[in-house]
Chains A and B, each alone.
Chain A
């Protein structure tokens, strides 16, 4: 079964600084990868996804992620964060061989942006 590891439970960063949130998944021949964001007291919102093709994926709000098959990683990056990016971020993986989505989520990384 697929699994996802988000090594950092919390990442503090100053406004306008760059940030990287790390995500590693268990190896599989074919995977689909997702990043979701959860603002306080809300549901999860899709940030970006990797299905196939270019390994650099751009999402909403200036976020991007790079799929690295050899490292089994899908790290999320933003070159300059804003206070409004404070939220919890979840990485998720779906086995591309199952025929339909059943996402497995990581434990989440809380991004804390301070002035």
Chain B
């Protein structure tokens, strides 16, 4: 979607290195989310944000941290990448009116 972009689209990194994924929105939505998608597991929530500097953990937050210093940017950091974090990562945004999420195109991360 034009209102939400993720970068990079693909990344290969080595075990033990830190990695940061970026989600940028132009919709001025309050809520932002990071999910990971894995075969057989669907999408699982990693972290979410309900405002600038306001974040909380999702169901699979171990090994991940996030930051939101501006409304438009939500960063996901893998502090020390492991092979189990090889996945496709999706960012999503929403506003308060329960209309559903808008998803980014995803980042395919491979940890070797």
Contacts and interface: CB of A to CB of B under 8 A. Distances in A.
A51 B99 CA distance: 9
Interface residues of A, number: 23
Contact of A101 (B43, B90, B94, B103): B94
Interface string A87-115: 00010001000001111111110000000
A42 interface: yes
Given A49-B100, A108-B42, A43 B90 contact: yes
Max chain B C-beta neighbours (<10 A), residue from A51, A94, A100: A100
A32 B41 contact: no
Given A44-B103, A100-B31, A108-B42, A94 B90 contact: no
Contact of A46 (B40, B42, B43, B100): B100
A49 B99 contact: yes
B105 interface: yes
Contacts of A36: 100, 103
Max chain A C-beta neighbours (<10 A), residue from B42, B45, B92, B99: B42
Contact of A90 (B43, B45, B48): B43
Interface string A7-41: 00100000000000000000000001010100000
Given A49-B100, A51-B98, A102 B105 contact: no
Interface residues of B, number: 26
B99 A107 contact: no
A61 interface: no
Given A43-B90, A101-B94, A107 B48 contact: no
A55 interface: no
A45 interface: yes
A105 B33 CA distance: 13
Nearest to A42: B105
Given A43-B105, A49-B99, A101-B94, A106 B1 contact: no
A82 to B, nearest CB: 23
Given A43-B103, A100-B96, A108-B42, 12 more contacts: A34-B100, A43-B90, A43-B104, A44-B43, A45-B103, A49-B99, A90-B42, A90-B43, A100-B50, A100-B94, A104-B45, A105-B35
